[in-house]
């Protein structure tokens, strides 16, 4: 049993865990999923952020957003529903406080950008042109706000259009974050690629609902919310695989990753990097555990470069 693990560590060659996406090299493929990690400040108390491939921030809009009424979160089997509504302090405070903090962290910084209109997104993208940001992730997939976000991600023409317009203004490589709440994910992946996206990330949450049968009402004030956590992983793996088949730009995979094995599954499905989301709430050490576990898995399976796993199925 476990013969591969019992080999003395000296005899194992340290695998190359770095991955490169749109010219940006990450020390390992493990990122944080937007909205589940803030800007890292709170989790810095638990983990060394320098152990992560990158931090993907919570969505940032041009002005502060108050978000939705509470209850905003509830648990479901092997997952959770949220309808936060992209509450955020706006880009000026974000730059002053969050980006200033991240400057001192040895990891890549991806800023998630949200807006109600194309102009809103462009405001943020322009404002970040000269800031210490490695990549932008464009949130066209949040299911919990009434305007913008998902409206751009469920229509291939709108997605193509917003991607083109953001690419014209962005100083950093652009990742379009896709929603699973579509009939054909490959159509959306192709639209993003055609619009000039440097990469795509998926999946955002799957729209769901939970009813309190004693109170005879929805649990969330927003009625519906986004489902995340291990419950959605098989859907996410399927969609990452389909999207990766459809485009030649890199794919960042996420959806219920809890372990290194989950992350490797996403890589094999076609992801060049992965993100840990809801499981941060279960265990603040998840990201580091996944990163370390992936390295051990590669070492014990004779994988020299983690990037060689991408899309091997």
Rounded to whole angstroms, the Cα distance separating 54 from 21 reads 12
Concerning whether 114 is annotated as a catalytic residue, the answer is: no
State which residue, 89 or 196, has the beta carbon closest to other proteins. Answer: 89
Q: C-beta of 163: minimal distance to other proteins in Å?
A: 27
Q: C-beta of 139: minimal distance to other proteins in Å?
A: 15
State which residue, 184 or 283, has the beta carbon closest to other proteins. Answer: 283
State which residue, 26 or 43, has the beta carbon closest to other proteins. Answer: 43
Looking only at the bridges linking them, the beta strands covering 19-21 and 24-26 are antiparallel
Q: Pick the catalytic residue: 114, 142, 164, 298?
A: 142
Helix (H, G, I), strand (E, B) or coil at 234: helix
DSSP 49: G
Rounded to whole angstroms, the Cα distance separating 276 from 87 reads 20
Q: C-beta of 10: minimal distance to other proteins in Å?
A: 30
Looking at the DSSP bridge assignments, the partners of residue 111 are: 136
State which residue, 66 or 104, has the beta carbon closest to other proteins. Answer: 66
State which residue, 39 or 179, has the beta carbon closest to other proteins. Answer: 39
Rounded to whole angstroms, the Cα distance separating 21 from 26 reads 8
Residues in touch with other proteins (CB under 8 A): 35-38, 42-43, 45-46, 58, 64-67, 70-75, 77-80, 82, 84, 87, 89-90, 93, 229-230, 278-285
Helix (H, G, I), strand (E, B) or coil at 142: coil
State which residue, 59 or 253, has the beta carbon closest to other proteins. Answer: 59
Q: C-beta of 220: minimal distance to other proteins in Å?
A: 9
Q: C-beta of 290: minimal distance to other proteins in Å?
A: 15
Q: How many Cβ atoms are within 10 Å of 146's Cβ, its own excluded?
A: 11
Provide CB contacts within 8 A for 23, sequence distance 6+. 173
Q: C-beta of 295: minimal distance to other proteins in Å?
A: 22
- List alpha helices for the chain, DSSP H: 91-93, 100-103, 118-127, 150-153, 156-169, 185-194, 233-246, 260-269, 279-282, 286-300
Rounded to whole angstroms, the Cα distance separating 228 from 207 reads 9
Helix (H, G, I), strand (E, B) or coil at 220: coil
Q: How many helices (H) and strands (E) are present in the chain, helices listed first?
A: 10, 16
Q: Where are the beta strands (DSSP E) in 185-312?
A: 199-202, 206-209, 211-212, 217-218, 224-228, 251-254, 273-276
* Catalytic residue IDs: 142
């Amino acid at each position: 049993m476990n013969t591969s693990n019992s080999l003395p560590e000296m005899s194992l060659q340290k695998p190359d865990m770095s991955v490169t996406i749109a010219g940006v090299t990450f020390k390992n493929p493990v990122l944080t999923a937007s909205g589940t990690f803030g800007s890292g400040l709170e989790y810095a108390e638990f983990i060394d952020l320098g152990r992560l491939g990158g931090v993907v921030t919570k969505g940032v809009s041009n002005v502060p957003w108050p978000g939705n009424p509470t209850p905003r979160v509830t648990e479901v089997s092997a997952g959770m529903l949220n309808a936060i509504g992209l509450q955020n302090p706006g880009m000026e405070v974000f730059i002053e406080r969050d980006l200033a903090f991240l400057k001192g962290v040895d990891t890549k910084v991806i800023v998630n950008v949200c807006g109600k209109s194309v102009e809103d997104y462009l405001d943020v993208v322009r404002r970040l042109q000269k800031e210490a940001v490695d990549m932008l992730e464009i949130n066209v997939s949040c299911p919990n706000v009434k305007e913008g976000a998902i409206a751009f991600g469920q229509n291939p023409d709108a997605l193509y259009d917003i991607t083109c317009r953001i690419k014209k203004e962005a100083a950093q490589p652009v990742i379009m974050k896709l929603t699973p709440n579509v009939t054909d994910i490959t159509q959306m992946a192709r639209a993003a690629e055609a619009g000039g996206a440097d990469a795509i990330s998926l999946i955002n949450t799957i729209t769901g609902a939970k009813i309190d049968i004693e109170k005879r009402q929805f649990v969330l004030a927003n009625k519906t919310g986004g489902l995340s956590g291990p419950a959605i992983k098989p859907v996410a793996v399927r969609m990452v695989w389909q999207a990766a088949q459809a485009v030649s730009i890199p794919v960042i995979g996420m959806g219920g990753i809890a372990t290194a094995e989950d992350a490797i599954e996403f890589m094999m499905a076609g992801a060049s990097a992965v993100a840990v989301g809801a499981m941060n709430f279960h265990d603040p050490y998840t990201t580091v555990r996944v990163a370390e576990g992936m390295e051990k898995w590669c070492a014990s399976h004779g994988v020299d470069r983690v990037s060689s796993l991408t899309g091997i199925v």
